[in-house]
Structure 1
Amino acid sequence: MSNLFQPITVGGLALGNRIAISPMCQYSAEEGLAQSWHLIHIGGMMMSGAGLVIMEATAPEAAGRITHGCLGLYNDAHEEKLREIVTETRKLSSSRIGIQLSHAGRRASCRSVRDRWRGESLPPEEGAWQTWAPSALAYDDSWHCPAEMNADALARVRRAFKDSAERADRAGFDLLEIHGAHGYLLHQFLSPVTNRRRDLYGGDVVKCMRFPLEVAQAIREVWPADKALGFRMNSSDYHPDGLTLDDAVTLARELEAIGIDYVVMSAGNLAPGCKIPPATPGHQVEYAARIKSETGLTAMAVGLIVEPEQAEEIITSGKADMVAIARAALDNPRWPMHAAAALGVDMEYPPQYIRARPNNWTGFPIVHPNAREIKATRQMDRPSSGSWDRPEVVTITDS
């Protein structure tokens, strides 16, 4: 039996296996509105075989978008469009669907991948907007300088996160993830590299955590207990003055006390000059292992997890409860299905793709020579109710 393909319950949410598709910015929205690209992209991921698919970083207010092409969830039109995507993609499989809420802070108002992105701040003639941060510190010398958030701005953003969470619930998402990593606003408050305040929201570790915890608490108050609520955090800033894994453990314990269900342990991307070590397979898994050993939170591991056997070992050894993959799924949108075959697990396929299932296609072992032999089964067609039958074991003979 594969442990990677065992079910798990996160908060009140039951998942069919331990694989999540990470949020990945698509830079394809128009005025914050999801487009046909998002429907096709997420629809494909929902047919991947992953237990969970999380939509990309989505801004709770217009000023929180990274680029003009980023998703928003701060008006009725955004909510309705995302509801349509949830409704349509949920018909495709039993995978659960989540969304990540993120405010870019000082890293907002930049050029996107679709606009010759080079990590550049938008100039005024290209529609730049006022950005906000815990302190008036530009990302680097070539970027705009953000406004330091006063009491009104803190209240506005806190309320925006809460309102967006309520919209996400009404849109039908099963899970919500708060982005507190990668140099975006909540991370900017957490790290002494970007937070130079000397009020209640800056100074020591406890004060630097205050605003992110207030946001998490506000969302917890409105997010249903029968769904899942998570937080993505930095395990290390890779900066001599930045956050450490010990700081991450402290934050994780505070999040657990609030009622957060899971954490994703990421790292880096805070500011120019951070000395990020070379990425190697599973290079951030140790961070999830520390959280799993010292808290009661569900720990999700990330960081160049690309091989099925690697993912299986992470779960089997107890280093993490789940794994999240991103670029591996862009490269191979059927990664979970192929991982199942590699680990000897017979997985449901959409009936439309049944002819490519390992035990229904003689070409599969040629294309995937490392796949284990799977007992011959026949998967029944989907009934009119829209639910999926489990495979029925039968004897398949040549005819």
Structure 2
Amino acid sequence: LTQIGAKFMFVAGMFVSGCVTILFGMLDKVPNGTVFISLCFLVRAMDAVGFAAAITASFSILAKAFPNNIATVLGSLEIFTGLGMVLGPPLGGFLYQSFGYGVPFITLGCVVLVLVPLNICILPKYDSLPSKDSFWKLIRLPKVSLLCLTIFCLSACLGFLDPTMSLFILKKFKLPAGYVGLVFLGLALSYSLSSPILGLVSDKLPYLRKWLLVSGGSLTALCFFMLGPAPVLHIESQLWMFVLVLVFIGFSLGMSFIPVFPEILQCAYENGFEEGLSLLGLVSGLFSAMWSLGAFAGPTLGGFLNDKLGFEWASAIQGGWALLSALAIGIFYIIEATRRSSSSSLQNLSVNNEERTHLMGSET
């Protein structure tokens, strides 16, 4: 990122993603068989590269442009993430039913490509010097490693819902396929509406970030346990309860997600990392990598558990990941607070001894 610049990486990532999205919409013209499958993997892999470049650069640009309000800006932008989650399925479904397979992807790709020249004109150029700090030095910090676990678990929990929840809704509540997308609104709206508020709280009251992380992870675990609900509770699932739990999941995910980025940055600064675009690129890349890893593991493991154990048990087990991350980061914060308290006590004792020695010397 420091070699080619954040702006170029962002624009290039958008361009690649837009082009391959259009190509994906044309794959129905390819003959069935090995060629089709190979091209699907190739196109989606290229899309992943473009997306990773764009999202990593975007986080760096945001943090560089708003260094004192990172969580607030990130939370505000999550409104549009929620809008994408809300509007994407119905609009895509409408275009698919009206015009066929290719039109949704071609339309989306064209929209992305239209935004490329707009961003070239609007975005400022940020110059940065290469730093001696490395990715491995950052991830070896205990606090950063635990925050990475939090990102991974949150992404896995969210990704778990993609291949499993719609099937469960259709089977359990006998809803028409067109209404399934409306159930997702509970999660998307609560997440998008709460994120700006949580971001503002995280920036204005940074000491609350640890509480947001721990309580958010714990609430996420509880919600996934209740989503089925877990068979051990012997509670019959109701549609209203299912939607209500999704609302709480959206809120709890925001509680844990929004404070992570500024917490990693603060930890890096405390451990001697140089401020600048280079560090922002490292943190953004780490954040994106952990999120993508969770987005892969969540649907993969969740789909397997859903087939073997059913949605009720699978969601409860998935919530265990969130509980694990909450407990791990909570224990770390307790140990950190204990060490700081002990260090402060030792410093005060040392100062008192020096003052006493100085006074005794003055009296003699």
Same fold (TM over 0.5): no
Write 1 or 2 for the structure with the bigger share of helix. 2
Structure number, greater radius of gyration: 2
Write 1 or 2 for the structure with the bigger share of strand. 1
- Of structures 1 and 2, the one scoring higher in RCO (CA 8 A, sep 6+) is 2
Q: Normalized against structure 2, the TM-score is what?
A: 0.25
Q: Normalized against structure 1, the TM-score is what?
A: 0.23
